[in-house]
Amino acid sequence: MPATVLVLVETINDYLPILEHQGFHLILAPTPAERAAAITRHGGQIDAVLTRGPLGLYADEIAALPNLKIICVIGAGYEQVDLQAAADRGLTVTNGAGVNASSVADHAMAMLLALVRDIPRCDAAVRRGEWPKIMRPSLAGKRLGILGLGAVGMAIAKRAAHGFDMTVSYHNRQHRSDVPYSFCSTPTELARASDFLIVATPGGLGTKHLINKQVLDALGPKGFVVNIARASVVVTADLISALEQRRIAGAALDVFDAEPRVPDAFKALANVILTPHVAGLSPEATQGTVELVGRNLVAFFSGNPVLTPIDLPATRTKAAL
C-alpha cells in the first residue's frame, strides 16, 4: 500500500506529480479549515506530512496522527514544527536546507537594490508624470553585513562580493574558517561594521530578537536592513520605531510576525519595501524542494537514511533520566 502524505503547503501544486509518480498518495489541505478537516477525517491513514516552517505541525496534530512516521519541511526553516513532540513519538523530520538558496539570494539582492536606489518611489513618480532627479547611494564598495552564513547567506555574500564589489562581514553561531569574509562576534558588532544588513538566519528560539534597538542604532541613520529570513529574528516594534524616527535609512521585508497580516505602520512608511514572503519561490527552487522531499520519502519508506535529517531533542523520558 502506498504511503499517504498530508500536504499542507499551498504553493507547490504544479510539482506534486513528482511525488505522485513516485507512488505516494497525497491529501491536499492548504487552508487551516482543510487542514483540520483532513486530520479529523483521514488522521488514521496519514504516514507523512509535508509542511513548511511557518505552517509547522503542532503537538496536538501529531497526537491526532497515530500512523505518522515522518515530517518533511520544505525550505530550511522548521520553527513551527513541534520537534519535542516529534522526538517523543520517534518520528523522523527532514528539511530542504539550501535548495532554494539561489532564489532567496536573488530576492535579497533585488530588495536591497530597490531599497537603496529607491526604485519604488522613482517608478511611482514617473507613472504620475513626474521626472524627479532622486540621488541615492551606490552599492559598489559598500559594507554588507550578513546575519547567518548558511547556504542562503553564502549565496548572498557571493553576489555582493563578486557582483557588486562589496566588503562582506557576517555573524554566525560559529566562526567559519572556510570563507574569506570577516567574522563579527555579535549582531551589534556586525551592524556597526555594515552599511547594509541582511538577515539570513533561520528562525526559532536560538535566533529570536537578535536584531533589536541596540543593533539598529549601531547600524545608524544611513544603514539599511533587509529581512528574507524570519520575522522573529527582528524585534518588530524596535524596527518600526527606528524607521519612523529615521534612526535607520530604510528596510525591505519579505517576512512578518503574523503572516499574512502586516502592521499598518510598515505600510505607512515611505522608507520600507514589502513583499509577501516570496523570496524562496521560483520554478527552479520549488521543483528542487519537491524533488528533495521525494528523495527523502523514498529513502525513508525503503528503510534507508534520509538525506536531510533534522536533529531532534532528547525524548522527555530520556531527558528525565
CATH superfamily placement of domain 4-99+283-320: NAD(P)-binding Rossmann-like Domain (3.40.50.720)
CB 274 within 8 A of CB 262: yes
**Who's near 20: CB < 8 A, 6+ residues apart?**
26
Lowest mean pLDDT among 131-140, 220-229, 312-321: 312-321
pLDDT tens for each residue of 155-193: 999 999 999 999 999 999 999 999 999 999 999 999 999
CATH number of the structural domain 101-274: 3.40.50.720
Residue 145: CB partners within 8 Å, gap ≥ 6?
A: 168, 169, 170, 171, 184, 190, 191, 193, 194, 196, 197, 198
The letter for the amino acid at 11 is T
Q: Is the pLDDT of residue 318 over 70?
A: no
| Cell numbers for 251 | 528596510
Catalytic residues: 230, 259, 277
pTM score: 0.92
| pLDDT tens-digit series, residues 237-279 | 999 999 999 999 999 999 999 999 999 999 999 999 999 999 9
Residue 71 has pLDDT above 90, yes or no: yes
Rounded Cα gap, residues 25 and 41, in angstroms: 15
pLDDT digits (tens, 9 = 90+) for 108-161: 999 999 999 999 999 999 999 999 999 999 999 999 999 999 999 999 999 999
Cα dist from 74 to 54, 110, 288, whole Å: 10, 23, 10
| Per-residue pLDDT reduced to its tens digit, 10-68 | 989 999 999 999 999 999 999 999 999 999 999 999 999 999 988 999 999 999 999 99
Which residue ranges does the chain devote to CATH 3.40.50.720? 4-99+283-320, 101-274
